Amino acid sequence: MPRLRIDLAYDGTAFSGWAAQPGLRTVEAELSAAVSRILRLSEPARIVVAGRTDAGVHARGQVAHTDVPDEAYAAVPGRAARPPEEAATIRLNAVLPDDIVVRRVTPAPPGFDARFSAIWRRYRYRICDEPRALDPLRRHDTVVVKERLDPDAMIAAARNLLGLNDFAAFCRRREGATTIRTLLDYTWTREPDGIVAATVRADAFCHSMVRALVGAVLPVGLGRAEVGFPAEVLRGGIRDPRVKVMPAHGLSLEEVGYPADALVAARAQEARSRRA
Amino acid sequence: MPRLRIDLAYDGTAFSGWAAQPGLRTVEAELSAAVSRILRLSEPARIVVAGRTDAGVHARGQVAHTDVPDEAYAAVPGRAARPPEEAATIRLNAVLPDDIVVRRVTPAPPGFDARFSAIWRRYRYRICDEPRALDPLRRHDTVVVKERLDPDAMIAAARNLLGLNDFAAFCRRREGATTIRTLLDYTWTREPDGIVAATVRADAFCHSMVRALVGAVLPVGLGRAEVGFPAEVLRGGIRDPRVKVMPAHGLSLEEVGYPADALVAARAQEARSRRA
């Protein structure tokens, strides 16, 4: 069974997140149904994803993989005229709803796993700190706060969280799961259009971790906490009631990083054994 | 009765355009109801607008005016703590739906008319020429075409339309209405995110004129018409079946230009007499 890598984007507004759940509209269920449909499979295709985004979270650079029966893949309509990956991309977009766009379909290198081969995930969080300046067309991926933010203070506060740390204070506790992560980037900028945006990159994230990292730095930006506050929360090692988990709709998965093709199998093995 | 200038933005997706129509959701009706509500008027406020946008067209820089009874304006809640315009902005945004944002409310200079004092309107049109590259979060204000565009050819084609011309070929004919306009800017760019965008600025526009101007240049960008095609259509002076009026949702009113305060009354008088 060849494995396909699927790069995709979605507007998370009308989805109950990535993961399939009975009776709910999810990205996984839509993509799985679309793959099954274009390959004429008898049951929903199994999809593995790099970042299992929560309800309302968007993606511009999500990565998934799926294994397809050789004979089904060979029969994708339009294959005669085009390379099969090209035909699959066009067909998937033709059957998917408007709020999901498949960027490309490519044959995965040997041993590739969309989740376990990933070496980092990069997220973005958008905040508008002047309600009347909000572009109403961006209200679905922008969180509004009513007071002005100081991005310089937020940059300084975020910097203190970088590196290999136990992020238990920013994670929803799960039995037997580690909360140790490497935070590779956490920066803030004020964009030309006035939006204050965070870039957060780590090897992996626990559930709601990005939104808690944003929530920890926000009081600093509002002048209600010292620059050292997020680092103090980190050291505390437990959920801090002063840290608000920010709303989902400001968050977007922008990019997933993988090693060179020759290393994806080794990376997947290493990540799997670390989780076990 | 003091006259107020209202600067606003809206996501046109869920509106049947600007102009109030019985039984339909329109920006005018929502704004009129909101103004009446915060001023506790007994009937809907009368609103005059710079650009009567069609169904599905957005605005980031729309301008309107309304005349308010002195005593009602003096009673806007929150006035005690803030300047009245500031209080009105906050109150309007509190009662308006999410897809309309009031940027500011200001006392209009003497003789100001949102429609007739305007000296130009600037629109933007967004096209994505690679369907799989579309950001699904921008699908509400971006039109997708399936073939690649050549912005340089479009720039050259658009340039030929500039100046004072009879734009009858790009207007829906209306009895007794002039189709002579001054096209001040018509340029194309490829944005950093890959979007091909038009900027169109004129003293005023006829109905669906911007969308026809975009539709006239598109075949040039696709390599299906010569650079001189739009100018040829212009000279023809009648609607040309080869020119498609482009979809509304790619269009947004970005800015309205007015003269200095001392000149708004004279400008309004001049524009009114020209229309009559």
Last residue of a domain, one of B81, B107, B133: B107
Measured over the CA atoms of residue A40, residue A41, residue A44 and residue A49, the dihedral's sign is negative
Total of domains in chain B:
2
Catalytic residues of B: 54
Give the CATH number of the domain where residue B100 resides: 3.30.70.580
Q: Which two tokens stand for residue A77?
A: 């309509």
Å from A147 to nearest chain B CA?
A: 13
A47 and A129 inside one domain: no
Average pLDDT over chain B, rounded to an integer: 94
In a domain, A268, yes or no: no
**What pLDDT is attached to residue A276?**
64
For residue A100, the enclosing domain spans 3-117
Following DSSP, what letter does each residue of A131-180 receive, concatenated? GGG--GGGGGG-EE-SS---HHHHHHHHHTT-EEEE-GGGS---TT---E
User: B52 and B128 share a domain?
Assistant: no
What integer pLDDT is reported at residue A79 of this predicted model?
64
A161, A168 contact by CB (below 8 A) = no
| Phi, psi (rounded to 5 degrees) for B82 | -135, 160
A150 Cβ contact partners less than 8 Å away, ≥ 6 residues apart: A220, A221, A222, A223
Nearest to B246 by CA among B167, B119, B156, B128: B128
| CB-based contact B263:B195 (threshold 8 Å) | no
In a domain, residue A262? The reply is no
Q: How far apart are CA B85 and CA B64, in angstroms?
A: 14
B80 and B206 fall within a common domain: no
Say whether both A193 and A102 belong to one domain: no
Q: Do A128 and A105 share a structural domain? A: no
Residues A77 and A134 in one domain: no
Question: CB-CB: which of B11, B103, B137 is closest to A11?
Answer: B137
Shared-domain flag, residues A20 and A96: yes
Residues in chain A within 8 Å Cβ distance of B104: 132
Query: Are the beta carbons of B135 and A60 separated by less than 8 Å?
Result: yes
**One pLDDT digit (tens) per residue for chain A, 276 residues:** 889 999 999 999 999 999 999 999 999 999 999 999 999 999 899 999 999 999 999 999 999 999 998 777 777 766 667 788 889 999 999 999 999 999 999 999 999 999 999 999 999 999 999 999 999 999 999 999 999 999 999 999 999 999 999 999 999 877 878 899 999 999 999 999 999 999 999 999 999 999 999 999 999 999 999 999 999 999 999 999 999 999 999 999 999 999 999 999 999 999 998 776
Cα–Cα distance for residue pair B140/B132, rounded to 1 Å: 15
* B34 in a structural domain: yes
Contact A123, A181 (CB under 8 A): no
In a domain, residue B80? The reply is yes
What is the residue-level pLDDT of chain B in tens, covering all 276 positions? 889 999 999 999 999 999 999 999 999 999 999 999 999 999 899 999 999 999 999 999 999 999 998 777 777 766 667 788 889 999 999 999 999 999 999 999 999 999 999 999 999 999 999 999 999 999 999 999 999 999 999 999 999 999 999 999 999 877 878 899 999 999 999 999 999 999 999 999 999 999 999 999 999 999 999 999 999 999 999 999 999 999 999 999 999 999 999 999 999 999 998 776
Same domain, B93 and B29: yes
- Is B266 part of any domain? no
pLDDT of amino acid B276 = 64
On whether both A124 and A10 belong to a single domain, the answer is no
Give the domain CATH number at B220. Answer: 3.30.70.660
Return the pLDDT at B79. Answer: 64
B135 and B223, same domain (yes or no): yes
Question: Does the residue A98 lie in any domain?
Answer: yes
ipTM at complex level: 0.91
Tally of CB atoms within 10 A around A275? 12
B252 and B141 in one domain? Answer: yes
- Which residue matches tokens 């305060």? B261
Query: Quick check: is A153 in a domain?
Result: yes
Which residues in chain B have Cβ-Cβ distances shorter than 8 Å to A137? 11, 58, 60, 138, 140-141, 252
Burial (Cβ within 10 Å: 0-12, 13-18, ≥19) of residue B55: middle
How far A88 CA lies from chain B's nearest CA (Å)? 12
Chain A residues close to B138, C-beta within 8 Å: 137
Binary contact (A89, B132; C-beta < 8 A): yes
In a shared domain, residues A111 and A154: no
